Chains A and B, each alone.
Chain A
Amino acid sequence: MVNMIIYITLGFMITGIFFAVLRFIKGPTAADRTVALDTLTTIAMALLVLLAFVFKRFIYVDVALVYGVLGFIGVLVIARYLEGAL
């Protein structure tokens, strides 16, 4: 039961990552690609926490925390550059 729901959730997340990468490759402007990167950051944080639960290691959650902080800073820097204010 637990394994089945974890597999279903992993499948949903991987499909979301696939669509976001497709939008990254297809997107006409730079803002669309940055939106895809922002979405991918949040999906990847959830995926890393779920993988930490699958492998039963508490230390893996720290990777998700560091990833969230730094991905947020990267998206902000790209947005400031697009605005022309960096």
Chain B
Amino acid sequence: MIIYIILLLFLLLLMIGTAIYSIVQRDLLYAVIGTGVISLILSILFLFLQAPDVALTEAAIGVALTTIVFIITIRNTVRFEEEPKRPSKPASK
């Protein structure tokens, strides 16, 4: 049983790394694909923790619905997020 716990912790670290990458990303399309990867690994984790109904809902909503809605949103708005303004910096840059 200790092998399953090691696999669970490894998947958890992968999910956290993908989430951090998806947050700091400026290209919104990459962030949407990252959301799909996060939802995939999270569904496997829910199945590890003996919750098949939550895994089913996560697979249905996180993979298909969120991806499609965000892709249509990106299609209608902009793809690249602009750089944040820094008001307190001096204008030397």
Contacts and interface: CB of A to CB of B under 8 A. Distances in A.
Direct contact of A and B (CB under 8 A): yes
Interface of A: 7, 10, 14, 17-18, 21, 24-25, 30, 33-34, 36-37, 40-41, 44, 47-48, 51, 55, 57, 59-60, 62-63, 66-67, 70-71, 73-74, 77-78, 81, 86
Contacts of A63: 43, 47, 52, 55-56, 59
Interface residues of B, number: 36
A41 B10 CA distance: 18
B23 interface: no
A77 B67 contact: yes
Contact of A18 (B14, B37, B72): B14
B40 A40 contact: yes
Contacts of B64: 70-71, 73-74
A25 B18 contact: yes
Nearest to A18: B14
Contacts of A30: 27, 29-30, 33
B55 to A, nearest CB: 5
Interface in B1-54: 3, 7, 10-11, 14, 17-18, 21, 27, 29-30, 32-34, 36-37, 40-41, 43-44, 47-48, 50, 52
A70 B7 contact: no
B65 to A, nearest CB: 8
29 contacts: A14-B7, A14-B11, A18-B10, A21-B17, A24-B34, A24-B37, A25-B17, A25-B18, A25-B21, A33-B30, A33-B33, A37-B33, A37-B40, A40-B37, A48-B43, A48-B44, A55-B50, A60-B52, A62-B56, A63-B55, A63-B59, A66-B60, A67-B63, A71-B36, A71-B59, A71-B64, A78-B32, A81-B75, A86-B75
